[in-house]
Structure 1
């Protein structure tokens, strides 16, 4: 029985990694230094459904692959760390996906995205903190859009009862 559960967790992790990749790589709005996407909504969903290590793996793999295969390879190290850390604030132990804790987790997700990418680009790419935070508005829009999608999809999954079935598979 324990082996069967592990296989379900690995399978759900792979499904979420693929979903994160697709929503990040194929639904993009270009910006000056990169692009805005809604892939973070799937990161938030994975983090609200899967145990943290599995959600972190899905986020790192899906978002990291998206950067690498979209021609933004320089961002891969930052993306892997930022997206994996983002999952830590969320919890799959609540009664629903859109729980009070998971709504509040959107705040550290915003801080990690804006701060993490700002520091990484400022220190590693541009050698200027000010230049690194020049794209902070685009990162804020990205998290806002992903948060809206997360709330809408999470609420639909909660109300339909599908979240309980997905979670049963993940536990």
Structure 2
């Protein structure tokens, strides 16, 4: 009887790991596709609709899985679309963006169910992303580009993408909020 319980527990653990892998893999693909389908080149990078899926991942999968799916999905976009210098920055920035969103949305008794708290989570995570890409752009211009710039000048140049990053966050929120509401009404949150 003890052996049967142990075997059943091991099976449950393996099933849980498989489910985690499937959820992260599926959300990684969704993040990548949303970023790829709707993207526009900007001064130093790209503006896209993928942030909406980063927010959605945080709300559906929680901190760790959303961070992993967002980091991998966005990083793959950079690697496959000519933004190789950005890939390591994107991995960290988008992973942290999803993590921040989930931490705020699920703090205390909110459980990701309070609209105003979720919007606040999206905004704070968006501010992180804007600031991090601003600094990341300056680092790339200072150390990784063939025509290296002084760091102060790199900060000035990198600031040119702040308005498009703000727009990207707003677009992400505008897409994520109603989509999350629709998914909640459909009961998908209980399935995932």
Q: One fold, TM greater than 0.5?
A: yes
Q: Which residue in the other structure is 1:169 paired with? A: none
* 1:26 Cα deviation from its structure 2 partner: 2.3
Structure 2 alignment gaps of length 5 or more: 1-11, 143-150
Residue 10 (structure 1) aligned with residue 21 (structure 2)? yes
* 1:95 Cα deviation from its structure 2 partner: 4.9
Q: How does 1:37-48 map to 2 (within 5 A)?
A: 37-48=48-59
Q: Which residue in the other structure is 2:75 paired with? A: 64
Q: Which secondary structure does the structure 1 equivalent of 2:40 belong to?
A: strand
Counterpart CA distance in 2 for 1:98 and 1:18 is: 27
Counterpart CA distance in 1 for 2:114 and 2:54 is: 14
Q: Which secondary structure does the structure 2 equivalent of 1:90 belong to?
A: helix
Q: How does 1:3-152 map to 2 (within 5 A)?
A: 3-91=14-102, 93=106, 94-95=110-111, 99-126=115-142, 127=151, 128-152=154-178
* Bigger-Rg structure (1/2): 2
Aligned residues: 166
Counterpart CA distance in 2 for 1:98 and 1:74 is: 38
Counterpart CA distance in 1 for 2:23 and 2:189 is: 13
Q: Is the 8 A contact 1:25 1:67 kept in 2?
A: no
Deviations 1:11-48 (A, max 9, x none): 01000000111111221122222221111111111111
Q: Is the 8 A contact 1:48 1:97 kept in 2?
A: no
Q: Is the 8 A contact 1:97 1:158 kept in 2?
A: no
Q: Which moved more, 1:23-32 or 1:38-47?
A: 23-32
Residue 158 (structure 1) aligned with residue 184 (structure 2)? yes
Structure 1 alignment gaps of length 5 or more: 167-171
Counterpart CA distance in 1 for 2:135 and 2:184 is: 36
* 1:3 Cα deviation from its structure 2 partner: 2.0
> RMSD value over aligned CA atoms?
1.8
Which structure has more RCO (C-alpha within 8 Å, separation ≥ 6)?
1
Q: TM-score if structure 2 supplies the norm length?
A: 0.79
